[in-house]
Amino acid sequence: MVPHHLLIDEATIQRRVAELAACIAGDLPSRTPVLLGVLTGSFVFMADLVRALARHGVEPTVQFVRLSHYHQGTEAERPVQLIGQDLPDIRGHVVLVVDDIFDSGYTLARLWADLTARQPAWLRLCTFLDKPSRHRVSLTPDYVGLTVPDVWLIGYGLDLNGEGRALPYIAAVSQDSQKITGS
């Protein structure tokens, strides 16, 4: 396992997911929204959020989209690509985009433009983690779980070259590990 140190514990994560769900449920114009998760990092957060929303009487349709901009490295400025499927038909629907982390914003800005063109009735963005110091686009999340420093994170769906995704907490990867892997 890649060397790391705890940044956000399980209890804090679960408390914040519950708070987000309450806020989102109060804002939703429909009890049956489409939740569109951005793979792969969002799947753990998405599962927790769906269950937390159900506690507020929300019964979402769950769909996922896979986007990529990292290709063979971590250079965020490369073109964003939709991988392996088409975007769902969301015309006239209430849609909440769910992602694990808002970093540069390039990936989500591309997705946002594509989704907006599909004319949903309501479109919002929820990201569990936000790195404001890394933002490079004008898009901002409507719902943010926690703001984090500009460090590489693993756990709760986030990984470093496949490692750490299953950790039940969020951890910062040691700087030495980042240098070894080229991040």
Per-residue pLDDT of the chain (183 residues; tens, 9 = 90+): 899 999 999 999 999 999 999 999 999 999 999 999 998 899 999 999 999 999 999 999 999 998 765 544 444 455 555 544 567 889 999 999 999 999 999 989 989 999 999 999 999 999 999 999 999 999 999 999 999 999 999 999 999 999 999 999 999 999 765 444 333
Q: What is the side-by-side order of every strand in the sheet holding 81-82?
A: 81-82, 61-68, 34-39, 94-102, 122-130, 143-147
SS3 label, residue 165: coil
Q: What is the pLDDT of residue 31?
A: 97
The one catalytic residue in 48, 99, 100, 103 is 103
Question: What pTM was computed for the model?
Answer: 0.88
**Token digits of residue 163:** 């490692």
Residue among 96, 23, 25 nearest 57 (CA): 25
Q: What is the pLDDT of residue 1?
A: 86
20 Cβ contact partners less than 8 Å away, ≥ 6 residues apart: 49, 52, 126, 128, 143, 145
Q: Which CATH architecture has domain 10-151?
A: 3-Layer(aba) Sandwich (3.40)
d(CA 56, CA 24): 10
Instruction: Provide φ and ψ at 165, rounded to 5°.
Output: -60, -35
Q: What is the pLDDT of residue 143?
A: 98
Catalytic site residue 27? no
